[in-house]
Amino acid sequence: MGSCREGSGLLVLCRLRHTGTYRSLLPVAQVSPLPFQSTVSLSRTEYKFWINAEQYCQWKDEISQRLAVDQNPGNSGDYPILSQYYDTAERDCYWEKQRGFKSRRKIRLRIYGSETAKIPPAGFLEVKHKLQGLGVKRRLPMSIEDAQNFGLGDDDVLRGMYDQVPRSGRIIIDEVLGMRAAGHNPSMQIRYDRNAFSSPDGKLRITFDNLLRCRPEFPKLLPDDQDFSKFIIAEGESIMEVKSIGAVPYWLRKRAGETGLSRRSFSKYCTSLEKHDPVLGSQLRQARQRQESAA
């Protein structure tokens, strides 16, 4: 019926041969750390806020006085992010989120940084997994060249990496190849600029994402590529994300209440599809036509 593969500190995943999908056989509490070559984030609470230009300046100024600039980008905490998302022809990933599925996954290929930063650009292949309401992100580092070639459809890049990565990395490769075989193909490219701040212990991270743009075409991902003309939200607006391991600090909750900051659900991927994806656009038009015919 299926084959089971034990994950080194990730999940025990069972692959069903007739579907190419995976199911978790262990609860999150039994997951152990991964080697540094691939990473997983577990039980991190995320809050998103859609803010205007005035709120952005106000909050960035206040956060910068309380938290340190994230030094990972090597460029004063400011860096571009380019992502290529994958979905089925039926846009299953989109609809699973809209319908509130407790367990859902999607593939995301990312390139962080620019050629002019102190630290060279970095590539990652990620599986974003919502598991019983908890966010789990599994990621595999890739060279920029490998990330670009995979983004152009060369799955052999992953097969060539298989014997060069630890077991945790091989699990991610198996998972992605299984999803690719099940029909997950490029569905949207997204670009934005990020300002990042974090606490010394790493338990609190606050980011501001600006100039959110997308394109429903899939050229080679180039670090800091500016050729994105379709805005996801208005040019002067930003997405502020608060990512916390454990309770959000009191000072932050207090200031959010004082300034009337209102949390809202927001997905860059889903919003970009709703505004600019011809496939989803056709599905939504057909759904409206059916509703009108039934009325």
Helix (H) or strand (E) holding 69: strand 68-69
pLDDT at 13: 35
What number of other Cβ atoms are within 10 A of residue 156's Cβ?
10
Cα separation, 238 vs 209, in Å, equals 6
Say if residue 10's pLDDT is above 60.
Answer: no
Q: Which residues pair with 2 in a beta bridge?
A: 16
pLDDT at 40: 54
Q: Which residues pair with 190 in a beta bridge?
A: 83, 214
What would the mean pLDDT of 132-150 be, rounded to a whole number? 92
| Confidence grade of residue 81 (pLDDT, cut at 50, 70, 90) | very high
Say if residue 25's pLDDT is above 70.
Answer: no
Cα separation, 288 vs 291, in Å, equals 5
Structure token digits, residue 23: 């199911």
What would the mean pLDDT of 106-116 be, rounded to a whole number? 94
Closest Cα to residue 192, out of 105, 250, 111?
A: 111
Helix (H) or strand (E) holding 82: strand 78-87
As a whole number of Å, the CA-based R_g of the chain is 20
Say if residue 31's pLDDT is above 90.
Answer: no
Q: Tell me if residue 179 falls in helix, strand or coil.
A: helix
Give me the helix-helix angle, 53-66 and 250-259, nearest 10°: 160
Dmax (CA) for the chain in angstroms is 60
Query: For the whole model, what pTM was predicted?
Result: 0.82
10 Å CB burial of residue 246 (0-12, 13-18, 19+) is exposed
Residue 162 phi, psi (nearest 5)? -55, -45
Q: List domains and CATH numbers for the chain.
A: 2-288 (3.20.100.30)
Cα separation, 171 vs 233, in Å, equals 35
Q: Which of 131-140, 150-159, 271-280 has the lowest mean pLDDT?
A: 131-140
Q: Tell me if residue 48 falls in helix, strand or coil.
A: strand
Task: Give the model confidence (pLDDT) of 161-206 as tens digits.
Answer: 999 999 999 999 999 999 999 999 999 999 999 999 999 988 999 9
Position with higher pLDDT, 26 vs 262: 262
Structure token digits, residue 185: 């193909």
